[in-house]
Copies of this chain bind each other. A is one copy, B any other.
Amino acid sequence: MSKQVVPVMCCSPLTGAPLSAAEAAELAGVFKAIADPVRLRLLSLIASHAGGEACVCDLTGAFALTGPTISHHLKVLREARLIDGERRGTWIYYRVRPELLAQLSAVLVHDVPAAVRADVPLSAEAAT
């Protein structure tokens, strides 16, 4: 593997029906993306930054890691569709995509209200 292609999040709640192997693999790919302290902090750093977005320069300073390493983790998060990057002049700004987070959250419990689950319509997806 190495390529964590996560097409469109599926999956009924964990506590509902047994997951199929394909669903489990898809879900595991996303969870794997956030199952790292650095990426978790990256995510919360971006999400809690003013305006809901942060440039890489803001993020690099928060870790005792080199630029390429941060870049690698951001790429993993991007490939998992958890964040979106946008270049604005010299800097690249990242923002989290709450819809996937909400879906993940919904999978973990069986009674998260639909309002949360459908935070942002998934049909708006156009990730490339």
Contacts and interface: CB of A to CB of B under 8 A. Distances in A.
A14 B47 contact: yes
A14 B44 contact: yes
A73 to B, nearest CB: 12
Contact of A109 (B27, B45, B48, B98): B98
A108 B96 CA distance: 11
A92 interface: no
- Provide the main secondary structure of the chain A interface: helix
A44 B31 contact: no
Nearest to A30: B35
A104 to B, nearest CB: 5
17 contacts: A14-B43, A14-B96, A15-B48, A16-B44, A16-B47, A16-B48, A18-B62, A25-B37, A27-B37, A28-B34, A28-B35, A31-B35, A32-B32, A101-B109, A102-B109, A111-B116, A112-B116
Interface of A: 14-19, 21, 24-25, 27-28, 31-32, 34-41, 43-45, 47-48, 62, 96, 98, 101-102, 104-106, 108-109, 111-113, 116, 119
Given A28-B37, A111-B116, 17 more contacts: A14-B40, A14-B47, A16-B48, A18-B41, A19-B40, A19-B41, A19-B45, A24-B37, A24-B41, A25-B37, A27-B37, A28-B35, A31-B31, A32-B36, A34-B35, A109-B112, A109-B119
